[in-house]
């Protein structure tokens, strides 16, 4: 029997013990936002170090100005083995409101829920259950073969639920130690209970605020109306000009670095069952509003956008005031994909705005962050190996998806460690993370372990 | 000597006595907004009734739910004489802050100020001094000839400074009694110290609020951006389309009822010395922003406008929020001229907005008032007679001007009594009305009386 098959079998046979180990971790109240649980956080870190050491990792608790990190290393089978960095977090969200929990949040159990067996407790899904799937996969491999298929570095964070203040400095200070061929991040959902998903694209973001000024005070629209520049008019005209009639952004060079999504990827998205109607219908809409001729999944996962997130000017209280405002402002954000350059977008947007400012008006810009998109190449070798591995484990083939929300760790791995990430998780959309009665499907925990065993096997000779 | 010359001469000779009569009126603390001065208001009304009765008017104090009106009638020289209604108000503004007054506000005196003799005290200009110019002109005529050139009705109000709550009901209840061939309103300024002015145009106003709704909740712009309709984009596009590149309003039928201002009127405005630079420069602007090729005076006095007075949508607090708002709204007002129909403008604007609403969005409209423009025809006989009369009195020819701010009484005379108004006043822009140290130039008081004598003579055979 091949090592992978042995490892999978071992995972199946030792599920009860691995659940017990998860329960032990879940009983630790590692709430990172509340200083009262500082010792609990360290306790969680230490218990993970102990577990990893038991499997043969060189593991240690590493201090930070906040809660500690866990870093662990395990050699691969040889010099040529791939090197993976696995990331998860051991801290959990607060439990309020406590009265809504059916069972105490730090007393885990297994229950029946809607015909499935689930592990309950704070952190069961986010992220203790998820991170243990990887640890248990390593344990099984080690148990059956005495080694791991890849060289493995593990990084567990204890501040993910409180904004990760120590993460960037820690990555910078330990870049050499942490850098690997690829990062594996386990903190995301499956597409549905039968379909595993890899998030391969995270859109970037550029935020800009523009303030257009005209007269040096608010004016009476009877006395000045028709003669004085109205900054709301100027602003409206500029904002209206950002998109053409086909929904494309008109700012010069905006699409530089944007690549078309391959047809086979678009085709695979069609099979996901998220239609324009189902996606938009959930919020009372029906028609995609952006670039014409593209599906909602392509529009939200693979196309750049310009959105006005806020606008204000003049009087907008009760009743009416016949005022010509002295200034009007808008907050505009751009979602970036592919190789779009945040600073070039910002520069070209400002140029675009300036062209619309008449002689009598002025404009001020305020910068609100900028980050490039994270996009695994559609033909990424690591991506296709992981997809194949997941497809062998689950009822339905794995899908490559995009994500709207950003996951800072992925950008940090890219920019600070020069490393791409595979975002693979086994959580379900009904796991109630951050809410009372959090749960993790037993099948997620079980097949998650099996998935990582398969992925480690698939990546063993991977080179970026 | 003709009767007018005799009356003018009598005015000159009895200036001291007329100033004494003004002083008597100024000593009455007829502050209409403060209930503590209720009896003073009635006292002021009664003293005016006494003065008018002494000249031969049938005068009476007329009760209202608030402060009383004064109504007085005097026959003309015969059945064919013109009938004028004169309007003024005897109530005054509060005097706070009292410590900024050089002299007690209700102890009038004559002083030198910048080389001119001025009458000081609360109400000296607004409106006791102004209304008495007309009463004194009548007195002089009566004195020298035993009659008035016209049939005269006088209406003095005691609530102008507190919103005129009783005025409309009073006009409606006494329409037959008050209706005349033309109304004369003395509550405005001269153009400058040497140039009398008649305000012949008051722009109308239509207020509309539009609320554009898209999704049934605020959306995350990462998750939905590029696919979901953004109501701020929709609103911006609609607002941007209201004006074309030449500053003209594009709403269908918007210019119906707008007449071009006659060249001679435009020429006369050129002589007023209010340039684009001087007018706009005072508020930090320099270039007229409305319809191209027209002066600021034409733009603000004789052209209709569309102005966005307020806009709001999404997040506009500190920092940034990547939200796609569920709704966005704007308050839009239109200034009307000539015969523009407020309800047609409102209807066509709503149609214009609806055309810009995509399938996924909806729009709500909220009405915020509507009133037509008041415009004396440029060839109005009463206007040209009054202008000629004023031109004979003052160093510089009288000018016909427009006004941005509305004067409700003029609309009420038009709509309730079917009567046009001539707005003629002798106040100066430095009279500090509503402020401490209010004053009225003695020359305004003196030549104001002479002006009314000339106007009464000029209108004696006027028929509308």
Can you tell me the mean pLDDT for A189-212?
93
Across the interface, whether the CB atoms of A230 and B289 are under 8 A apart is answered yes
Residue range B289-340, pLDDT digits in tens:
999 999 999 999 999 999 999 999 999 888 888 899 999 999 999 999 989 9
Looking at every residue in chain B, the average pLDDT score rounds to 94
Please say if the pLDDT value at position A406 is more than 80.
no
Q: B-chain residues within 8 Å CB-CB of A242?
A: 233
Q: A-chain residues within 8 Å CB-CB of B243?
A: 233
Across the interface, whether the CB atoms of A217 and B283 are under 8 A apart is answered yes
Residue A187's contacts (CB-CB under 8 Å, 6 or more residues apart) are A87, A88, A89, A126, A127, A130, A160, A407, A423, A425
Q: Is the complex ipTM more than 0.90? A: no
Can you tell me the mean pLDDT for A12-19?
98
CB < 8 Å from A in window 271-290 of B: 276, 279-280, 283-290
Q: Does B1 touch chain A (CB under 8 A)?
A: no
Instruction: Name the pLDDT band for A405 (thresholds 50, 70, 90).
Output: low
Can you tell me the mean pLDDT for A67-71?
98
CB < 8 Å from B in window 400-459 of A: 403-406
Q: To the nearest whole angstrom, how far is the Cα of A100 from the nearest Cα of chain B?
A: 25
Q: For tokens 């409106």, name the residue.
A: B127
Q: Hey, of A274, A282, A298, A320, which one would you mutate to test binding to chain B, going by the most B CBs within 10 A of its CB?
A: A320
Across the interface, whether the CB atoms of A320 and B309 are under 8 A apart is answered yes
Can you tell me the mean pLDDT for B235-245?
97
Question: Which of helix, strand or coil describes residue B294?
Answer: coil
Work out whether strand A69-74 and strand A58-62 pair parallel, antiparallel, or are unpaired: antiparallel
Q: Does A387 touch chain B (CB under 8 A)?
A: no
Closest residue to A308, CB basis, from B219, B222, B314: B314
Is the model more confident about A321 or about B16?
B16
Residue range B401-449, pLDDT digits in tens:
987 656 778 888 998 999 999 999 999 989 999 889 999 999 999 999 9
CB-based contact A337:A406 (threshold 8 Å): no
Residues B277 and A314: their CA atoms lie apart, in Å, by 24
Q: B-chain residues within 8 Å CB-CB of A220?
A: 404-405
Residue of B nearest to A316 (CA): B310
Please say if the pLDDT value at position A150 is more than 60.
yes
Across the interface, whether the CB atoms of A314 and B316 are under 8 A apart is answered no
pLDDT value of position B395: 96
Instruction: Name the pLDDT band for B151 (thresholds 50, 70, 90).
Output: very high
Q: Cis peptide leading into B345, omega within 30 of 0?
A: no
Across the interface, whether the CB atoms of B319 and A368 are under 8 A apart is answered yes
For chain B, helix, strand, coil in percent to 5 are 35, 25, 40
**DSSP for residue B48:** H
Looking at every residue in chain A, the average pLDDT score rounds to 94
List C-alpha distances in Å: A322 to A191, A207, A222, B394: 52, 32, 7, 35
List C-alpha distances in Å: B437 to A262, B121, B180: 79, 6, 36
Instruction: Name the pLDDT band for A429 (thresholds 50, 70, 90).
Output: confident
Residue range B245-275, pLDDT digits in tens:
999 999 999 999 999 999 988 998 988 888 9
Q: Which of A143-157, B59-73, B260-274 has the lowest average pLDDT?
A: B260-274
Please say if the pLDDT value at position A44 is more than 70.
yes
* Sign for the pseudo-dihedral over CA of B167, B169, B171, B173: negative
pLDDT value of position B405: 59
Instruction: Name the pLDDT band for A319 (thresholds 50, 70, 90).
Output: confident
Q: B-chain residues within 8 Å CB-CB of A314?
A: 308-311, 331
Q: To the nearest whole angstrom, how far is the Cα of A201 from the nearest Cα of chain B?
A: 12
Can you tell me the mean pLDDT for B47-72?
98
Residue A115's contacts (CB-CB under 8 Å, 6 or more residues apart) are none
Residue of B nearest to A280 (CA): B228
Q: Which of A260-269, A441-450, B303-312 has the lowest average pLDDT?
A: A260-269
Please say if the pLDDT value at position A135 is more than 60.
yes
Residues A80 and B230: their CA atoms lie apart, in Å, by 52
pLDDT value of position B408: 73
CB < 8 Å from A in window 200-219 of B: 203, 205, 207, 209, 214-217, 219
Closest residue to B311, CB basis, from A303, A314, A321: A314
Number of neighbours of residue B367 by Cβ within 10 angstroms: 13
The domains found in chain A, sorted by start residue, are: 3-201+374-458 (3.40.630.10), 204-258+304-371 (3.30.70.360)
Please say if the pLDDT value at position B73 is more than 60.
yes
Across the interface, whether the CB atoms of A310 and B311 are under 8 A apart is answered no
Please say if the pLDDT value at position A458 is more than 70.
yes
Q: For tokens 């990792």, name the residue.
A: A57
- Beta-strand ranges (E) seen in A174-319 are 182-185, 197-202, 204-213, 219-220, 305-314
Residue range B100-136, pLDDT digits in tens:
999 999 999 999 998 999 999 999 999 999 999 999 9
Please say if the pLDDT value at position A1 is more than 60.
no
Burial (CB < 10 A; 0-12, 13-18, 19+), residue B459, is buried
Of B34, B265, B61, B263, whose CA–CA distance to B156 is shortest? B61
Across the interface, whether the CB atoms of B223 and A291 are under 8 A apart is answered no
Number of neighbours of residue B4 by Cβ within 10 angstroms: 22
Can you tell me the mean pLDDT for A148-163?
94
Please compute Rg for chain B using Cα positions.
25
pLDDT value of position B1: 53
């Amino acid at each position: 029997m091949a090592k992978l098959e042995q490892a999978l079998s071992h995972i199946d046979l030792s599920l009860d013990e691995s659940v017990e180990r998860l329960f032990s971790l879940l009983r630790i109240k590692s709430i990172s936002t509340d200083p009262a649980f500082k010792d609990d956080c360290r306790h969680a870190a230490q218990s993970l170090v102990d577990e990893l050491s038991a499997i043969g990792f060189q593991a240690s608790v590493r201090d930070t100005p906040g809660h500690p990190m866990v870093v662990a290393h395990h050699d691969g089978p040889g010099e040529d083995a791939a090197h993976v960095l696995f990331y998860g977090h051991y801290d959990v969200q607060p439990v309020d409101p406590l009265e809504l929990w059916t069972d105490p949040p730090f007393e885990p159990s297994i229950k029946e829920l809607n015909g499935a067996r689930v592990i309950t407790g704070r952190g069961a899904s986010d992220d203790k259950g998820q991170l243990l799937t990887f640890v248990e996969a390593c344990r099984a491999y080690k148990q059956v073969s005495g080694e791991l298929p890849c060289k493995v570095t593990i990084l567990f964070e204890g501040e993910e639920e409180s904004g990760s203040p120590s993460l960037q400095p820690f990555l910078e200070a330990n870049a050499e130690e942490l850098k690997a061929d690829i990062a594996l991040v386990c903190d995301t959902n499956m597409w549905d209970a039968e379909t595993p998903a890899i998030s391969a694209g995270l859109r970037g973001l550029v935020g800009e605020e523009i303030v257009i000024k005209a007269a040096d005070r608010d004016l009476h629209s009877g006395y000045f109306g028709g003669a004085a520049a109205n900054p709301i008019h100027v602003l409206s005209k500029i904002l209206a000009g950002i998109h053409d009639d086909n929904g494309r952004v008109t700012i010069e060079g905006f699409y530089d670095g944007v690549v078309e999504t391959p047809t086979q990827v678009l085709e695979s998205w069609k099979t996901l069952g998220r239609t324009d109607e189902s996606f938009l219908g959930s919020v009372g809409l029906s028609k995609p509003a952006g670039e014409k001729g593209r599906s909602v999944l392509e529009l939200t996962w693979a196309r750049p956008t310009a959105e006005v997130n806020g606008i204000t000017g003049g009087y907008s209280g009760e009743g009416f005031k016949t005022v010509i405002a002295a200034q009007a402002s808008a907050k505009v954000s751009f979602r970036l994909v592919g190789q779009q350059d945040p600073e070039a977008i910002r520069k070209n947007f400002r140029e675009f705005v300036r062209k619309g400012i008449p002689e009598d008006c002025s404009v001020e810009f305020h910068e609100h962050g900028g980050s490039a998109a994270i996009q695994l190449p559609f033909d990424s070798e690591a991506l296709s190996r992981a997809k194949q591995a997941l497809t062998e484990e689950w009822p339905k083939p794995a899908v490559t998806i995009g994500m709207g929300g950003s996951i800072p760790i992925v950008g940090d791995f890219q920019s600070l460690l020069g490393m791409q990430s595979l975002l693979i998780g086994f959580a379900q959309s009904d796991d109630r993370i951050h809410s009372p009665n959090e749960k993790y499907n037993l099948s997620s925990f079980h097949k998650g372990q099996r998935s990582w065993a398969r992925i480690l096997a698939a990546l063993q000779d991977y080179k970026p």
